[in-house]
Amino acid sequence: MLAAERREHLLDLLARTGKIVAKDVAADLGISEDSVRRDLRDLAAEGLCQRVYGGALPASPAVVDYDARQTVAPDGKRQVASVAAALVQPGSSVILDGGTTALAVARALPKDLACTVITHSPTIATALIDHPRAELFLLGGRVFKHSAVTCGAAAVEAAQNVSAELCLLGVTGVHPEAGLTTGDADEAAMKRALAARAADTYILASCEKIGTASPYRVLPWEKITGLITDADPHDTVIGQLKTLGVEVLVAQ
Amino acid sequence: MLAAERREHLLDLLARTGKIVAKDVAADLGISEDSVRRDLRDLAAEGLCQRVYGGALPASPAVVDYDARQTVAPDGKRQVASVAAALVQPGSSVILDGGTTALAVARALPKDLACTVITHSPTIATALIDHPRAELFLLGGRVFKHSAVTCGAAAVEAAQNVSAELCLLGVTGVHPEAGLTTGDADEAAMKRALAARAADTYILASCEKIGTASPYRVLPWEKITGLITDADPHDTVIGQLKTLGVEVLVAQ
DNA sequence: CCTGTTCTTGCATGGTTCTGCATGTATCTT
DNA sequence: AAGATACATGCAGAACCATGCAAGAACAGG
């Protein structure tokens, strides 16, 4: 592993997990703690991180301000994203929906993960440009401005030509009776088309979506593999979903 | 193995694996590490990679990010963009290429202009999300990371299904004899496909492109309507182009 | 076909940078 | 307060690098 690459890795880790433990990283990468410490010292000297006893933390808020605004996903979404990102196997293909939670998933993917990402969101495509080993496929079509994703006939048609192991879908409503719902008919159709092209479909649902419903039905429960959420596992709605046979992955 | 071929190999390797270890490549190709190092040094000098101890990494994404996000396009590009944006008639359709100059054009479009923008650049699509009256169509396909645009068979096929009054195309080289050129074969093909779908094609060429050539020919002079540039109108190369019958719009 | 020039390549050299270890010190935990 | 953990420093070996040089290939002109 190149020294510069190692430093990249550290920054990436810091951005994703919010902290670095020198000992752990050294063990992970199979290098001495001294090297890690030296790197951290250098990074701190450049203002890229804050050195603390035992490891490092992100640089002071003032410095990361700009990045932070971009990366700022509420904790819940970040946790959901992190669980979802872990589902993506090296070498596999994943269909990634648009939306802020899906964007958080894109950002939670390790920088050096070799996988194929298929998406209908230009925002997500842009976010993944700097993942050198990720193969990117963008589904074209009319851009639906409200959600910043492509939708409509052309986009659905484009989706017919891809397939993947995994589909990670965002929705705006998760309700025991109403099912999975969203605010636009075209968007709902697009989500259906995406889900149909993957072996497994997981729903990304940060806790504020649970128990709510939007006008347009996306999918019935039978069509999905599971739900990823940061909601309290003992929540009554979550309980109802489990009764319906939905696999619930809880992000804490 | 030819020197140029070797450099291609290095760039390819860099794009695929995200890093180059001089030692390994030298062993793989059966050449001395010195040659590899010399190549890497040259590539780095051209900004095509970032030289680090032990090998090389992709040209710093941080720099690209910075450029892309900061609205600060160099004055020249902004002037070119402003002239190009003025060519877009209300109610018309325009095919917009990727690249920094095209991005500047997108930003130069009046916020309330009602038009249809067709693009293969997710970056440009994202930039136009907040133009409420602009209809946006994104051409899908495999994302070519170096330029952040979709390229390849699927993208070219998608381009066959659109048409427009105007096409605004960026290139990396504008040369009287070599014609319009760019650095990637797939990208060149995509640009040709885009130009073929518009009644008029204008080339966006900030002054540093004038008189230079890249490996792959995009279009001959006959296929384009005009050139938009901020170069000195009395420049000898510009004079030669005019002699060739190219309409030159000079941005001041 | 020959000759001189230019470019490329591999090698040798000497300098620079990196890395892991050892040591003594600082900091944390109990 | 004492033990454990983390740290900075110095050091030596290793890896890496720029430079200069010479041999060879490619090329142009005669």
What tens digit of pLDDT does each residue of B188-239 get?
999 999 999 999 999 999 888 888 777 789 999 999 999 999 988 888 888 8
Contact list in A for residue B103 (CB cut-off 8 A) is none
Contact list in B for residue A132 (CB cut-off 8 A) is 14-19, 58, 145
Is the CB of B125 less than 8 angstroms away from the CB of A130?
Answer: no
Domain boundary among A23, A43, A68: A68
B154 occurs within a structural domain: yes
Tell me: do B168 and B81 sit in the same domain: yes
Alpha-carbon span B178 to B214, nearest angstrom? 8
Chain-centroid distance of CA B81 in Å reads: 14
Instruction: Quote the minimal CA–CA distance from A201 to chain B in Å.
Output: 22
pLDDT at A197: 97
B173 occurs within a structural domain: yes
Task: Name the residue of chain B whose CA is nearest to A7's CA.
Answer: B52
Tell me: do A245 and A147 sit in the same domain: yes
Tell me: do B169 and B211 sit in the same domain: yes
Question: Which nucleotides in chain D lie closer than 7 A to a protein CB?
Answer: 5-10, 15-20
Residues A36-66 have pLDDT tens digits of 999 999 998 888 888 999 999 887 554 443 3
Alpha helix locations (H) across chain A? 3-17, 22-29, 33-45, 61-71, 75-86, 100-108, 122-128, 152-159, 185-196, 236-243
Is the CB of A158 less than 8 angstroms away from the CB of B161?
Answer: no
Tell me: do A130 and A233 sit in the same domain: yes
Tell me: do B201 and B78 sit in the same domain: yes
Domain boundary among B34, B59, B84: B59
Instruction: Quote the minimal CA–CA distance from A133 to chain B in Å.
Output: 6
Alpha-carbon span B252 to B238, nearest angstrom? 15
Mutate to test the interface with B, among A145, A156, A157 (most CBs of B within 10 A): A145
Tell me: do B174 and B79 sit in the same domain: yes
Query: For strand C, is any atom closer than 7 Å to the CB of A66?
Result: no
CB atoms within 10 A of CB B205: 26
- Looking up tokens 């998933």 gives A105
Tell me: do B91 and B45 sit in the same domain: no
Residues B121-138 have pLDDT tens digits of 999 999 999 898 999 999
Please count the structural domains in chain B: 2
Contact list in B for residue A2 (CB cut-off 8 A) is 19, 21, 52-55, 57
Domain holding B93: CATH number?
A: 3.40.50.1360
Domain boundary among B27, B59, B91: B59
Q: What is the mean pLDDT of residues B54-59?
A: 88
Query: For strand C, is any atom closer than 7 Å to the CB of A51?
Result: no
B211 occurs within a structural domain: yes
**Strands A216-219 vs A179-182: parallel, antiparallel or unpaired:** antiparallel
Instruction: Quote the minimal CA–CA distance from A236 to chain B in Å.
Output: 39
Q: What is the pLDDT along chain A (252 residues), one digit of tens a residue?
A: 889 999 989 988 887 777 899 999 999 899 999 999 999 999 988 888 889 999 998 875 544 433 434 445 677 888 899 999 999 999 999 999 999 999 999 999 988 789 999 999 999 999 998 787 899 999 999 999 999 999 999 999 999 999 999 999 999 999 988 899 999 999 999 999 999 999 999 999 988 899 999 999 999 999 999 999 998 888 898 999 899 888 999 987
Output the distance from B243 CA to D29 C1' rounded to whole Å.
34
Tell me: do B52 and B80 sit in the same domain: no
Domain holding A12: CATH number?
A: 1.10.10.10
B78 occurs within a structural domain: yes
B65 occurs within a structural domain: no
- Looking up tokens 């030296």 gives A38
Tell me: do A132 and A17 sit in the same domain: no
DSSP A91-146: T-EEEE--SHHHHHHHHHS-TT---EEEES-HHHHHHHTT-TT-EEEE--EEEETT
pLDDT at A193: 98
Alpha-carbon span A149 to B138, nearest angstrom? 9
> Which of B132, B140, B161 faces A139 most closely, judged by CB atoms?
B140
pLDDT at A157: 96
Tell me: do B226 and B106 sit in the same domain: yes
B64 occurs within a structural domain: no
Tell me: do B123 and B196 sit in the same domain: yes
pLDDT at B65: 42
- Retrieve residue B75's tokens: 């004055």
Is the CB of A126 less than 8 angstroms away from the CB of B126?
Answer: yes
Tell me: do A175 and A143 sit in the same domain: yes
> Which residues span the domain enclosing A20?
3-68
